[in-house]
Each structure stands twice: as structure tokens, then as C-alpha cells.
């Protein structure tokens, strides 16, 4: 982490929490708006994303950027984990406005020279003001979904207004028990903290399994941001969380609905290109040496995300599996959500 702008090798001190992992809050929370009223106007070519394909938080941003067709509007570079946190792999990993930087913590100090805190991905950088706009994946998702419609695909909406209360409720449930739950199990340094996270994780997976027996996606028959937020954890589950994080009561493939649902989302056009299974596995087992001190990367398991999922036969898809914007709100409200 950075302390007053200086990189230090300082991990999480979980003695204060009884061995429980408590995630740090993100610190850059500014907002991009289509009209620029926030001080940051949505403009093509102005913003840059720093992401890691190993990180589930960054990966959901990568997916939404791709499905909203914002590749030409918002540039992106991939970073990797090293001795000083996230770093760029080549000379073109960092845009001109932060040239000379080869590590992500240098981007943080370019934005705030005396920054103290964790250096995390994703990061949304503004070339014009030469600063970090936001480093909270949930907030970045919302901006990509709605504020850049003039430069991407405005027909795709992963956060439709009439579904927002249910999406928000599901996001909170999934974040607390699944997204962060696997980390609280894997990073725990006491038995009670591990077991508490473990039990909550599998209780939540059981509840989601039952929910997906009633509908194709988390909120009926349309993909929303709630699905992408869950997907990036599920696609990593058997690869790393089951063994590496000791989340080993059941594998994802042991859940009939959750496993088919994950394959269904993976097979949405363009999504598989954002999932680097080998890189994900290598990152976790090599970089987290306090959990895996030998840094040996297991050869298995073999998982076929491209296998037929059958969800379309049980719950027929609408004309588009993506959540499309509707101009006729009344017609949309009346549309049957559960086939």
C-alpha cells in the first residue's frame, strides 16, 4: 500500500479484527456525467481504464465495457501483480498522460501525491484533468452503463429503472456473502472467522441455486448488472476459491442451476474473450504466497464453460438476452418477466 505517497510492503493487519478480513473502502468516488454537470463530461478518448483480468472486481467492468461497445470510446490496459503491486507489462501499458509510470501506485500518486491507502483495480483515469476519477468497480459499472450512451450501444441497459430496487437488494446480498465472502474465507487468519464466512457463503449459494430454479437470470429473464457481479466470482470458484480459499463444501459444478447459469453467461457473445482462465489461476496461486507459500500452480481442474447449458430450453430467451432499454415504460412493466 501507499503511505503518504510512499510505497510500503504492508499487508492487512487482522489481529485487530480477530482474524477476520475487512476490505478497505475505495477512496476515489467522483462521477462522470453525460452533460458534464459533475465536472467530468463523458467524452470519447478522454478516459482510460486500468484493469486486471485476474481480479473479479475489474473483470465485471471489462465485461460491461465490451457489451456496451465502448472499446473505441474508453481505452484500457491490463496490469499484473508484482513486488510493488500492480504493474504494466510493456511500454504501451500506460497512456501518455502518465508516461514514466510502470506501476499502478505511480498513477495513484500522480492523481494524489500524498495518497495513503490500498492500490486497487479497476481505476478510471481522466487524461484531461490527469487524475483518477473513480476506483470503485460498482460506480464505474453504473457510469459505463448510462453516461456513455452517445458513444456506445444505448439499447443495452444493465440497470433499468423499474428493476433497480431488486438489483440493489441482490447486489448487496451477493457482495456481502459471495463476492467478498470467498475472500473473507480465504484471507481469514482465525478458525472462527473462516467458518463464519464459509457458512454464510454456502447458505447464500444455496439460496441463489433455488432462485435460479425459478428464473433464467437473477432478475427474471433479462441479464442485469447483478448477473455480471455474481458471474465473475462464480467463473473463478472451482479454479481457485474451492481449493485455494478453502471454500470446499461443494464445487460450482455440483450446483445444477448455478453451474448452468454460469455457462449461460459465459456464452454471451464477447464474454469468453474477457475471461483468461490460466491467468486467473496463476495469479491467485503465485501472488498470494501467504496462503500458498510454495507458489505451485495446480494443473486442474478441467472445466468446460462452453458446454451446452440448456437454460434457453427451460427459460426461453427474449429477442435479446441483454437488458434492452425501453421507451414505453408501461409496456415494459406489463411484460411478463418469468417465463
Residues 226-247: tens digit of each pLDDT? 999 999 999 999 999 999 999 9
In whole angstroms, give the CA distance from residue 124 to residue 129: 12
Note whether 11 and 125 are same-domain residues: yes
Let me know if residue 230 belongs to a domain. Answer: yes
* Residue tagged active-site, from 55, 115, 255, 285: 55
Note whether 64 and 204 are same-domain residues: no
Let me know if residue 156 belongs to a domain. Answer: no
For residue 94, pLDDT over 80 is answered with yes
Note whether 138 and 175 are same-domain residues: no
Q: Could you tell me how many residues make up the chain?
A: 339
Residue 55 annotated to the active site: yes
Let me know if residue 90 belongs to a domain. Answer: yes
pLDDT attached to residue 91: 58
SS3 at position 95: coil
pLDDT in tens, 250-288: 999 999 999 999 999 999 999 999 999 999 999 999 999
In whole angstroms, give the CA distance from residue 235 to residue 151: 29
pLDDT in tens, 206-223: 999 999 999 999 999 999
pLDDT in tens, 30-74: 999 999 999 999 999 999 999 999 999 999 999 999 999 999 999
Q: How many of the other CB atoms lie within 10 Å of CB of 17?
A: 14
Q: What is the CATH number of the domain that holds 135?
A: 3.40.30.10
* Residue tagged active-site, from 12, 108, 175, 183: 183
Note whether 72 and 132 are same-domain residues: yes
Q: Which of 96, 118, 146 is the last residue of a domain?
A: 146
- Report which of 335, 247, 322 is spatially closest to residue 284, judged by C-alpha positions: 247
Q: How many of the other CB atoms lie within 10 Å of CB of 196?
A: 16
SS3 at position 269: coil
pLDDT attached to residue 321: 53
Residue 183 annotated to the active site: yes
For residue 323, pLDDT over 80 is answered with no
Q: Which of 112, 146, 180 is the last residue of a domain?
A: 146
Q: What is the CATH number of the domain that holds 165?
A: 1.20.1050.10
Task: Kindly report the average pLDDT of the chain as a whole number.
Answer: 91
User: Are 229 and 174 spatial neighbours (Cβ–Cβ below 8 Å)?
Assistant: yes
Q: Which domain holds residue 169?
A: 161-273+304-334
In whole angstroms, give the CA distance from residue 21 to residue 19: 7
- Higher local confidence (pLDDT), 292 or 18: 292
Q: How many domains does the chain have?
A: 2
What proportion of the chain, given as a percentage, has pLDDT over 70? Answer: 92
pLDDT in tens, 102-126: 899 999 999 999 999 999 999 999 9
pLDDT attached to residue 333: 37
> How far, in whole angstroms, is CA 150 from its chain's centroid?
24
pLDDT attached to residue 34: 98
Identify the helix (H) or strand (E) that includes residue 97. Answer: none
Let me know if residue 226 belongs to a domain. Answer: yes
- pLDDT classification of 128: cutoffs 50, 70, 90: very high
For residue 328, pLDDT over 60 is answered with no
For residue 99, pLDDT over 80 is answered with no
Q: What is the DSSP string of 319-338?
A: S-SB-B--S-HHHHHHS---
Note whether 120 and 197 are same-domain residues: no
pLDDT attached to residue 292: 95
SS3 at position 85: strand
Burial class (CB in 10 A: 0-12, 13-18, 19+), 218: buried
Cell of 186: 480465504
Note whether 14 and 116 are same-domain residues: yes
Note whether 135 and 166 are same-domain residues: no
Per-residue pLDDT, averaged over 291-298, amounts to 96
Note whether 33 and 116 are same-domain residues: yes
Let me know if residue 191 belongs to a domain. Answer: yes
- Higher local confidence (pLDDT), 227 or 315: 227
Sort strands 47-51 and 74-82 into parallel, antiparallel or unpaired: parallel
Triad 176, 116, 103: Cα angle to 5°: 90
> Where do we find the cell 428493476?
163
Max Cα–Cα distance, the chain, nearest Å: 59
Note whether 19 and 110 are same-domain residues: yes
Let me know if residue 308 belongs to a domain. Answer: yes
Note whether 174 and 142 are same-domain residues: no
Instruction: Please report, in angstroms and rounded to a whole number, the separation of the first and last CA atoms in the chain.
Output: 49
pLDDT in tens, 76-86: 999 999 989 99
pLDDT attached to residue 9: 85
Let me know if residue 279 belongs to a domain. Answer: no
Q: Which of 146, 169, 184 is the last residue of a domain?
A: 146
User: Are 76 and 124 spatial neighbours (Cβ–Cβ below 8 Å)?
Assistant: no
Note whether 257 and 140 are same-domain residues: no
pLDDT attached to residue 274: 97
Note whether 80 and 55 are same-domain residues: yes
Let me know if residue 286 belongs to a domain. Answer: no
Amino acid at each position: 500500500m501507499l503511505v503518504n505517497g510512499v510505497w510500503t510492503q504492508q499487508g492487512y493487519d487482522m489481529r485487530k479484527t480477530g482474524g477476520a478480513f475487512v476490505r478497505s473502502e475505495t477512496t476515489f468516488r467522483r462521477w462522470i456525467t453525460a452533460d458534464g454537470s459533475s465536472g467530468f463530461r463523458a467524452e470519447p478518448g478522454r478516459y482510460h481504464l486500468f484493469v486486471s483480468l485476474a481480479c473479479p472486481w475489474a473483470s465485471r467492468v471489462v465485461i460491461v465495457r465490451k457489451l456496451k461497445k465502448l472499446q473505441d470510446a474508453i481505452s484500457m490496459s491490463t496490469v499484473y501483480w508484482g513486488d510493488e503491486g500492480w504493474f504494466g507489462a510493456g511500454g504501451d501499458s500506460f497512456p501518455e498522460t502518465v508516461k514514466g509510470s510502470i506501476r499502478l501506485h505511480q498513477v495513484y500518486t500522480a492523481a494524489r501525491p500524498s495518497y495513503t491507502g490500498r492500490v486497487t483495480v479497476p481505476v478510471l483515469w481522466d487524461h484531461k484533468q490527469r487524475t483518477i476519477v473513480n476506483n470503485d468497480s460498482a460506480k464505474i459499472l453504473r457510469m459505463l452503463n448510462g453516461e456513455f450512451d452517445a458513444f456506445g450501444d444505448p439499447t443495452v441497459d444493465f440497470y433499468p429503472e423499474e428493476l433497480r430496487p431488486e438489483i440493489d437488494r441482490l447486489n448487496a446480498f451477493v457482495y456481502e456473502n459471495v463476492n467478498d465472502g470467498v475472500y473473507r474465507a480465504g484471507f481469514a487468519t482465525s478458525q472462527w472467522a473462516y467458518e463464519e464466512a464459509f457458512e454464510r457463503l454456502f447458505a447464500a449459494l444455496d439460496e441463489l441455486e433455488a432462485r435460479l430454479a425459478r428464473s433464467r437470470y437473477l432478475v427474471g429473464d433479462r441479464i442485469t448488472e447483478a448477473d455480471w457481479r455474481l458471474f465473475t466470482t462464480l467463473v473463478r470458484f472451482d479454479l481457485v476459491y474451492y481449493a485455494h480459499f478453502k471454500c470446499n463444501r461443494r464445487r460450482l459444478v455440483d450446483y445444477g442451476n448455478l453451474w448452468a447459469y454460469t455457462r449461460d453467461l459465459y456464452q454471451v457473445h464477447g464474454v469468453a474473450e474477457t475471461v483468461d482462465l490460466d491467468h486467473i489461476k496463476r495469479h491467485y496461486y503465485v501472488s498470494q504466497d501467504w496462503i500458498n507459500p510454495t507458489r505451485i500452480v495446480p494443473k486442474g481442474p478441467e472445466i468446460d464453460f462452453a458446454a451446452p447449458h440448456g437454460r434457453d430450453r427451460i427459460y426461453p430467451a427474449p429477442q435479446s438476452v441483454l437488458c434492452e432499454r425501453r421507451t414505453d415504460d408501461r409496456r415494459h412493466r406489463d411484460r411478463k418477466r418469468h417465463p
